[in-house]
C-alpha cells in the first residue's frame, strides 16, 4: 500500500483478536509476521518438502544463532511492528532451547505459532505448555497410511498421542492437513477425526516448488466442498490462486517481504523468501533504519515480480500477502479467516467444557484429575 506508514504503538498486546494482527501490517506498512527458522534439520522426510535435504541444509548447527542473540532478534522484530512469530524449521522441537525462545517471545507480547511432526512433542509437552498460541500438528490421513508413507517416518501414533496430550494440557492445537493427490479422498475421515479430537482441520494444498508435482487442480474442488463444514478451515483465496496457476508477476498475489520476514537459523533475512533466495541480509539492529530506506521499499515492490515468482503457489507467503492489496483475494481471505477465527473459538470453548466435565467426573470417581 502506498503512502506514509502510520505510527504504531511500541507495546504489542498479546491478546488482540487474530484478525487485528492481519490488518496491522498493511496499516503500518511493514511485515506483520516473521518466519523464524530455528533449524533446517528434520527427523522426517516428507515427500512434499525439501527443507531437510535442500540447498540450505549445508549450514552447520555450529553457525546457528545463539539463544541470547535470538532473543535480541525478538526485540528488533517488536520495534519493526511484527506481531506473530512462527517458529519453524525443519522440526522446531529439535532445538533444545525452543521453550526458552517461545517464552521470550511471549514475554515480549508476540503471538506464537509452531508446526511439529509430533515425534518429540509428547516428551516436551510440559515445558511447552502455555507458550504456543497456534500449535499445528501435521497429519496426512485419519489412519497410519498414507500418513507414514507421505512423511517417510512412523509419526502417526505420535500425532494421535499429541492430540490427546495437548487437549489434556489445555493447549491451542489444530491439525495441518497437506492436501495431496494421495489423500484428497480422505477428507471426510479427517474431518471426523478432528471432531473426535475437538480441533480445527486446516486444509493446505500441496504446492510445487522443488520438482514435486503439487496437488492436481481437480482435487481443490474436494476442499472447496467441505469449506463450510464444522471443524474445517479452507481459505477460498488460496484455492483461487491455485486455480489461476499460482502467482502472476504482472499482477502479483505474493508480496512476500511486505507481509513476512523470513529469518534463517544463522540470523539473516532471506529475501524475498526461504524458497527463492535472491539476497541474504544480516538481521541486526541496522535493519530498523534499513526498513525506512528507499532501497527497502524498492525491494518490497519487487517481491512477487521476479521471474522465479511466476506460477509459485507457496501459501506460506501468499496467504499473509492477501491483506496488502484490496481486491477479490483480500475479500475471500478475510471471509475465510473470519470464519476460521469464529470456528476455532467455538471449538476451544466446547473443548474446555468437556475437559472440565471429565475432570469433575474423575474427582467424583476418586480418580487422579490429571
Classify residue 165 as left (phi > 0), alpha (psi -120 to 50) or beta: alpha
Would you state the pLDDT for residue 207? Answer: 87
The model's pTM is 0.90
Let me know: does 341 contact 233? Beta carbons within 8 Å: no
Bond preceding residue 14 cis, omega within 30 of 0: no
What pLDDT is stored for residue 55 in this prediction? 56
Residues in the chain: 370
- Maximum alpha-carbon separation in the chain: 68
Q: What is the pLDDT of residues 318-355, one digit of tens each?
A: 999 999 999 999 999 999 999 999 999 999 999 999 99
SS (H, E, C) 33-93: EEEEECCCCCCCCCCCCCCCCCHHHHCCHHHCCCHHHHHHHHHHHHHHCCCEEEEECCCHH
Instruction: Check residue 279 and give its pLDDT.
Output: 95
Alpha carbons within 13 A on the beta-carbon side of 274? 33
Tell the burial category of 293 from Cβ atoms under 10 Å away from its Cβ (0-12, 13-18, 19+). Answer: exposed
- Domains delineated in the chain: 32-365 (3.20.20.70)
**Which alpha helices (DSSP H) does the chain contain, by range?**
18-28, 67-80, 98-107, 121-128, 144-151, 156-169, 187-196, 220-225, 236-243, 256-259, 286-290, 294-302, 315-321, 328-365
Q: What span, in angstroms and rounded, lies between the C-alpha atoms of 344 and 337? A: 10
Per DSSP, what are the bridge partners of residue 205? 179
Distance of CA 360 to the CA centre of its chain: 35
The reported pLDDT for the residue numbered 293 is 95
CB 115 within 8 Å of CB 173: no
Burial class (CB in 10 A: 0-12, 13-18, 19+), 365: exposed
pLDDT along the chain (370 residues), means of 10: 35 47 67 94 84 68 94 97 94 97 97 96 97 97 94 94 97 96 96 98 90 87 96 97 94 93 96 92 97 94 96 93 93 95 95 92 71
Amino acid at each position: 500500500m502506498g503512502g506514509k506508514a502510520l505510527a504504531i504503538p511500541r507495546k504489542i498486546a498479546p491478546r488482540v483478536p487474530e484478525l487485528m494482527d492481519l490488518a496491522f501490517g498493511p496499516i503500518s506498512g511493514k511485515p506483520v509476521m516473521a518466519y523464524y527458522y530455528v533449524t533446517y534439520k528434520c527427523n522426517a522426510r516428507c515427500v512434499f518438502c525439501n527443507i531437510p535435504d535442500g540447498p540450505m541444509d549445508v549450514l552447520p548447527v555450529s553457525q546457528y544463532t545463539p539463544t541470547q542473540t535470538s532473543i535480541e532478534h525478538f526485540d528488533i522484530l517488536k520495534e519493526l511492528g511484527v506481531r506473530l512469530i512462527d517458529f519453524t524449521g525443519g522440526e522446531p522441537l529439535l532445538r533444545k532451547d525452543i521453550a526458552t525462545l517461545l517464552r521470550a517471545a511471549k514475554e515480549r507480547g508476540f503471538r506464537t505459532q509452531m508446526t511439529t511432526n509430533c515425534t518429540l512433542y509428547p516428551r516436551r509437552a510440559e515445558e511447552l505448555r502455555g507458550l504456543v498460541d497456534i500449535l499445528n500438528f501435521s497429519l496426512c490421513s485419519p489412519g497410519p497410511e498414507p500418513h507414514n508413507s507421505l512423511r517417510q517416518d512412523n509419526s502417526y501414533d505420535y500425532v494421535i498421542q499429541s492430540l490427546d496430550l495437548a487437549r489434556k494440557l489445555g493447549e491451542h492445537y489444530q491439525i495441518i492437513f497437506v492436501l495431496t493427490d494421495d489423500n484428497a479422498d480422505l477428507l471426510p475421515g479427517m474431518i471426523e477425526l478432528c471432531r473426535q479430537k475437538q480441533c480445527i482441520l486446516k486444509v493446505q494444498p500441496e504446492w510445487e516448488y522443488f520438482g514435486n508435482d503439487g496437488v492436481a487442480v481437480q482435487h481443490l474442488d474436494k476442499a472447496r466442498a467441505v469449506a463450510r463444514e464444522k471443524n474445517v478451515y479452507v481459505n477460498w483465496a488460496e484455492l483461487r490462486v491455485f486455480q489461476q496457476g499460482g502467482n502472476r508477476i504482472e499482477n502479483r498475489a505474493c508480496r512476500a517481504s511486505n507481509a513476512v520476514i523470513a529469518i534463517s537459523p544463522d540470523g539473516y533475512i532471506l529475501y524475498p523468501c526461504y524458497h527463492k533466495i535472491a539476497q541474504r541480509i544480516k538481521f541486526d539492529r541496522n535493519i530498523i533504519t534499513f526498513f525506512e530506506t528507499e532501497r527497502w521499499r524498492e525491494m518490497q515492490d519487487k517481491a512477487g515480480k521476479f521471474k522465479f515468482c511466476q506460477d509459485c503457489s507457496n501459501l506460506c507467503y501468499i496467504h499473509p500477502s492477501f491483506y496488502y492489496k484490496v481486491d477479490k483475494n483480500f475479500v475471500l481471505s478475510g471471509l475465510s479467516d473470519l470464519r476460521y477465527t469464529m470456528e476455532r473459538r467455538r471449538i476451544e470453548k466446547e473443548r474446555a467444557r468437556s475437559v472440565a466435565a471429565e475432570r469433575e467426573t474423575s474427582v467424583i470417581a476418586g480418580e487422579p484429575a490429571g
